[in-house]
Amino acid sequence: MILTLVLVCLAVAVFLAGRRKAVSLTGGRTSVLHSRPVYHGFYVALACGLPAMSLWFLVLLAGDWMIDRTVVAALPGELREASGPVLQRFLNDAETLAGGGVPTIGITPELEAAAASFSHLTLLKHWIGFGAALGLGLIAAGLAMRRIDISRRTRQPVERVLLVVLLALAAISVLTTAGIVFSVLFEAIRFFDEVPFLDFLFGVKWSPQIALREDQVGSSGAFGAVPLFTGTLLITLIAMLVAGPVGLLSAVYLTEYADPRLRATAKPILEILAGIPTVVYGFFAALVVAPALREAGAGIGLDVASESALAAGLVMGMMIIPFVSSLTDDALAAVPADLRDASLGLGATQQETVTRVIIPAALPGIVAGFLLAVSRAIGETMIVVMAAGLAANLTANPLEAVTTVTVQIVTLLVGDQEFDSAKTLAAFALGLTLFLVTLGLNIVALRMVQKYQEQYD
């Protein structure tokens, strides 16, 4: 670690030296240089640092393997002939002992000898590797320094390296996503080996617990996900019934009617709502809204479950209001002022202008915002875990408890589980479904936003 830091310091020092040399070549008027002094610095630093670092990491990686080989070669015959796991365990113990830890087997002379050779070789590896890396870096730096010249094109190679670095960073997020998708996909395929695909998609009975207890996974038919889909849809619908009108109208108010000063304060406040952790909304749903609904229901003679789709949906709706309103606000604000003037100039009232010109013109953006909100509502977990319940009822009654895809994923994976039972694997199938649905919604929504933007460019 410290040695790595030394190499970094070397690169920095070389950077400064390279830059200084470039400046000194010009006598202060750096405009005569082909590339700016900074690039000369980076050029030398990269020329020095890249090979040195590569060599250093190579030594660190390959060194351990070589040390293992050397230690094994020095072992007495019967140990050297031992089976893989035994040998591996011996080596691990030797390494632990060398590092000052307590090995799992008793300390034998062989182990001590191996440990001693381990620590000796590791030290050797560090110093040889470091020396080689340092030497290589210095030589490379020296060569690069000599090449610094007024007309030297150092910007192009430096920018090429930077480009590669940027590309690698950009690739990280994409690759991670791909990794997630594939791991979910493969687990889901394993699930579908045990439970037929159509039973999962169209079955109306969901009770993974029973299936596990009776040890009758595939044939019990308890993995019908329809109740989960309907539960998710019901809650999403309720949420959108709350968030849609409220979000749309608040955005209309803020963009078209509100005083700019009010807008400047109200908009950030509305957006703060989006920053509240959803688990807090969950508390609110479970402790305030659900009991209140139940009492209100009892007051008018309705039987409301203590965990109801309505409570979860209402609170989720409140959660996505800022989302809807912020996206709608952007869509409305993107409508050119020309159109407002045109409508007002024809003697239209403010309200006619909003309903007949502004909203139709912004409609694709608004719809896209709604779709993104729906996809958030479908994927939302905490609120429904806390407020919607676990019972997989196939019902359209918002006063009953329902469960959603996300809630079931949580309950399937929480706690000690075997990772190859159909119960656990079902979570991946649900996850895959969820992923595909929200992906579809997002793609459609982004397409619409794109089209909409083209219209006014």
Partner 1 sequence: MVEAAATRDAPRVKMRTRGLKLWYGDKQALAGIDLDVAEHQVTALIGPSGCGKTTFLKCLNRMTDTINDVTTEGSVTLDDVDIRDRSVDVVQLRARVGMVFQKPNPFPKTVYDNIAYGPRIHGLAANRRELDDIVESSLRRAGLWEEVQGRLGDLATGMSGGQQQRLCIARSIAVAPEVILMDEPCSALDPISTARIEELIDDLRTKYTIVIVTHNLQQAARVSQMTAFFHLGRLIEVNGTAELFQSPAESMTEDYITGRFG
Question: Binding residues for partner 1, per CB under 8 A?
Answer: 260, 336, 338-349, 352, 356-357, 360-361, 455
Length of the chain: 457
Q: What is the DSSP letter of 33?
A: S
Q: Shortest gap between Cβ of 341 and partner 1 (angstroms)?
A: 6
Type of residue at 283: F
Round to whole Å and give the CA distance between 197 and 426.
11
Q: Shortest gap between Cβ of 256 and partner 1 (angstroms)?
A: 11
Which residue lies nearer to partner 1 by CB, 71 or 357?
357
Which residue lies nearer to partner 1 by CB, 260 or 301?
260
Q: Shortest gap between Cβ of 357 and partner 1 (angstroms)?
A: 6
Q: What is the DSSP letter of 421?
A: S
| SS3 (DSSP) at 2 | helix
Q: Which tokens hold the place of 379?
A: 């994927």
Which residue lies nearer to partner 1 by CB, 87 or 348?
348
Which residue lies nearer to partner 1 by CB, 27 or 347?
347
Spatial contact of 161 and 99, defined as CB atoms under 8 Å apart = no
Q: Shortest gap between Cβ of 447 and partner 1 (angstroms)?
A: 18
Which residue lies nearer to partner 1 by CB, 53 or 359?
359
Type of residue at 313: G
Spatial contact of 383 and 357, defined as CB atoms under 8 Å apart = no
Q: Which tokens hold the place of 118?
A: 């381990």
Which residue lies nearer to partner 1 by CB, 80 or 356?
356
Q: Shortest gap between Cβ of 366 and partner 1 (angstroms)?
A: 14
Spatial contact of 367 and 344, defined as CB atoms under 8 Å apart = no
Which residue lies nearer to partner 1 by CB, 78 or 338?
338
Q: Shortest gap between Cβ of 453 and partner 1 (angstroms)?
A: 13
Round to whole Å and give the CA distance between 259 and 267.
12
Sequence-ordered alpha helix ranges (H) in 99-207: 109-147, 155-194, 197-202
Phi-psi region of 28 (alpha: psi -120 to 50; beta: other; left: phi over 0): left
Which residue lies nearer to partner 1 by CB, 195 or 335?
335
Q: Shortest gap between Cβ of 337 and partner 1 (angstroms)?
A: 9
Q: Which tokens hold the place of 139?
A: 């030589």
| SS3 (DSSP) at 223 | strand
Whose CA is closest to 373, among 444, 451, 282, 431? 444
Q: Shortest gap between Cβ of 317 and partner 1 (angstroms)?
A: 31
Q: Which tokens hold the place of 330?
A: 């952007």
